[in-house]
Amino acid sequence: MSLEFKAATTALYNATSSQVTSTAQSGSMSWLYTTAAIVGGLLALEQAVWRYKKRHLPGDTWAIPIIGRFADSTKPTMENYKRQWDSGPLSAVSVFNIFIVMASSNEYSRKILNSPMYAEPALVHSGKLVIGSDNWVFLTGKDHVDYRKVLNLLFTRKALGIYLGLQETVARKHMTRWLKEAAADPSAKPIMMTARHMNMETSLRVFCGYHIPDSAVEEINSKYWFITQSLELVNFPIPLPGTKVYKAIQARKLVMHWLELAAKKSKIAMAEGGQSECMLDEWVSIMAEPGYKGRKDFSDYEMAQVVFSFLFASQDAMSSGLIYGFQHLADNPEILAKVRKEQERVRMGNYEDPITLEQMDDMVYLQAVVKESMRVKPPVTMVPYKCKKPFPISENYTVPAGSMVIPSFYNSLHDSEVYPNPEAFYPERWLDQRGSANSNPKNYLVFGSGPHKCIGLEYAQMNIALVLATAVTMMNFQHEATPLSEKVEIIATIFPKDGCHLKLSPRTHA
C-alpha cells in the first residue's frame, strides 16, 4: 500500500470521525436543550398551578419546586404551625404538589367539620393503608349514620357504669407497679411510655374484657407504637419492608387477629347467657334486645374493625390527655391540693372502695381540671380532610377538588375573647356556668364537631378523670422540669418533648 493511499485513507477516516463526533455532540446538546425545556416548562406549570390555586390566600409566593414544604412536614413544630395559623384564617401550603388549605379560625374549622358533602376525613397519606380502607371511620352519608346509631348505644350511662370498674382496676394495678419501681429507684423518670401502657390495657379491657388474654395485651402494647409512628404527617408512602408504614400494617394485622377472636368469644358468652362485662358484650346484648331495630348482622371482622378504630382514637389522644393532666397538676400544687380536697369530700376517706358513677359526677372540680388541661394542650391540634369536590368555603375562595383542607383546633381553644389569658391553666373558668368558656361551646373543639365528632368523648373524659383521681389519692408526684418540658413533640398527637419526668412516692392518709 502506497504512502499516498494510507495518507488519504487516514484523512478520510479523521474527517468522518470528526463529522460523527460533531453530529453526536450536536445531538447531545439538542437532547439536553429539549430536556431542560421540558423540565423548565413543568416547573413553570407547577408554579402557575400553585399560584392559581392559592390565589389571594397567605402562603409562599413561589412554591419550592416539587417538594414544597416537605422539610417542615418531616419535623413539625408547634412554632411553625402557629406561624401558619397566625398568617390568616385560611392559608395555603404545598407538600409534594399536594395543595393544602389550612383553616385556623373557629368559623372555617367548624365549616369543614360540618360539611360532609364537600370534605371527608383523610387523616394522613398513610391513614387508609394503616387503619384499613374499609374501616367504618371512612364511611360517609347514610352508611356512616347507620353505624353511629348502634355505636352511640355503647356509650350510654349504663355502658359507662360497666366500664368504670375495669378502668379503675387497671389504673390501680399500674400505679401499684409504678410505686414499686419508684421504691427501688426513686429518681424522676419520664411517664410517657408507662402511661401509654396503662392506657392501652385500659382500652383493651374496656373494649374486649377478658376475652383477650394478658399475653395479647402485652403483645399489642409492644407493637402499637409502630401504628403511632406511621401516622406522622409525612411518611414514606409505599409500605416496603422495614418502613414505618409496613411495620404499622403488620401491627394492625396482629391487633385485628386478637380483636376478631374477642368478638367471637363475646358472641359465644352472650349466647350462653353471660352478663355484659365489656363493650363487645354490651354490643352483642344490645343487638339481642327485643326492641332493637338496628342492624344485627355485624361480623366478627366488622366488630373488630370498630374496636380497632376506638383503640386508634383512644390510645394516642387519651395518653396525651393523661400525661399533660399529670404535668399540669404537678406544676400547679394549689390546684392539686383542691383536687385532693374534693376527693376527700366525695369519697369521705374511703379510698379503697370502688368509685361509682355518682361519685364521678360529684367531682366537679376534677372535671374542670380535665377540661382545662385538654384546652391548654389539645391532644389533637388538627384533622386532615380531603375535598371531594370544589368547596366554597368562603365568599371569595373555593378550595379546589382533590385538595387537602385541614381544620385546626388550637386557635379556637386559645381565643382570648372566650378564654381570657388563654395560655394559663385555670380550671376555675369552667365552674362559672355563665362565664365565657361555658357560654361558647362552639370554641371547645377538643373532640371535633359535626358528623365525625368523637363518639366516645364522655368515656374519654371520664377515663382521664378516673386515672387522675386514683393517682392523687395513691401517690405523691413531683415534676422534674427540663428544658424540653414545655416543648411539644408532635406525632399522631402531642406530648411533652421530654416525656414528662415525674418523681413518685406513696401517699399515706392520716
Question: Which residue numbers belong to the known binding site for heme?
Answer: 454
Ranges of H-type helices in 385-456: 410-413, 436-439
| List of residues 6+ apart from 283 with CB closer than 8 A | 150, 153, 154, 266, 298, 303
Q: Are strands 98-103 and 404-407 parallel, antiparallel or unpaired?
A: parallel
User: Which residue positions form the known binding site?
Assistant: 454
| List of residues 6+ apart from 464 with CB closer than 8 A | 318, 321, 322, 325, 370, 373, 374
The CA-atom distances, in angstroms, between 453 and each of 277, 428, 443, 446, 449 are 26, 26, 14, 10, 5
Cα(483)–Cα(332) distance, integer angstroms: 18
Ranges of H-type helices in 348-475: 357-362, 364-376, 410-413, 436-439, 457-474
Within the chain, what is the greatest distance between any pair of CA atoms?
123
| List of residues 6+ apart from 219 with CB closer than 8 A | 254, 258
| List of residues 6+ apart from 293 with CB closer than 8 A | none
177: its cell numbers: 407497679
Four-residue CA torsion sign, 34, 39, 43, 49? positive
3-state secondary structure 38-70: HHHHHHHHHHHHHHHHHCCCCCCCCCCCCCECH
51: its cell numbers: 399560584
